[in-house]
Amino acid sequence: MRRRDFLPLLAAPLALAQTPAVQRKGRIKQGVTRGVFAREMSLEDCCREAARLGIKGFDLIGPADWPLLKKYGLVPSIRSPPCPGVTFS
């Protein structure tokens, strides 16, 4: 193999790595629970990180914490508990 043939082979992966990310249509709206994040993280830190990742909703959060969700542009996707007397185990 000649050097002139070999150098383009080395440059190809670099060119592919620099292509821009594909723009998404935004139709999928992900929701998470606190269990996704580290146990020692505060709810505010969880909300901040979720918003940074593009998450849209937070599951199993009670009404007292809804203003915090709103602060970061998140919505409560499943109320905790969903019905009086119902719990998740």
Model pLDDT for residues 49-75, shown as the tens digit of each residue: 999 988 999 888 888 899 999 999 999
Q: Give residue 89's pLDDT band: very low, low, confident or very high (50, 70, 90).
A: very low
- pTM of this prediction? 0.60
Model pLDDT for residues 16-29, shown as the tens digit of each residue: 555 555 566 767 77
pLDDT for 36: 87
Is residue 37 within 8 Å of residue 48, measured between CB atoms? no
Domain boundaries, given as residue ranges, for the chain: 22-89
> Is 55 exposed, middle or buried (CB count within 10 Å of its CB: 0-12, 13-18, 19+)?
buried
Q: Give residue 44's pLDDT band: very low, low, confident or very high (50, 70, 90).
A: very high
In the predicted model, what is the mean pLDDT of the chain?
77
CA distance 89 to 79: 15
User: Among 6-20, 43-57, 69-83, which range has the highest average pLDDT?
Assistant: 43-57
